[in-house]
Amino acid sequence: MKLKIIGSGGMFQIPNPFCKCPLCEEARIKRGRYERLGPSLYIEDIKMLIDTPEDIGVACDRQV
């Protein structure tokens, strides 16, 4: 079974808007893999997306 992690963040995206913590500040500067969207998983064998957070559209768009 082949799984693809679409989002690996927690319940808040990183960088979280207006947050000044070191993690969010680093993600704001470096972007790319430092940014995290809400957690979701894609099972390729059955083409099923599991756990779709609010930002799933952005997360899926990044997969292309």
Q: How far is the CB of 63 from Zn ion (least distance, A)?
A: 24
Residue closer to Zn ion, measured from CB, 2 or 20: 20
Q: Residue 60 interacts with Zn ion (CB under 5 A)? A: no
Q: How far is the CB of 49 from Zn ion (least distance, A)?
A: 26
In whole angstroms, what is the distance from residue 9 CA to residue 24 CA?
12
Q: To the nearest 5 percent, what fractions of the chain are helix, strand and coil?
A: 30, 20, 50
Q: Residue 24 interacts with Zn ion (CB under 5 A)? A: yes
State the sign of the Cα–Cα–Cα–Cα dihedral 40, 8, 4, 6: positive
- The residues binding Zn ion (CB under 5 A) are 16, 19, 21, 24
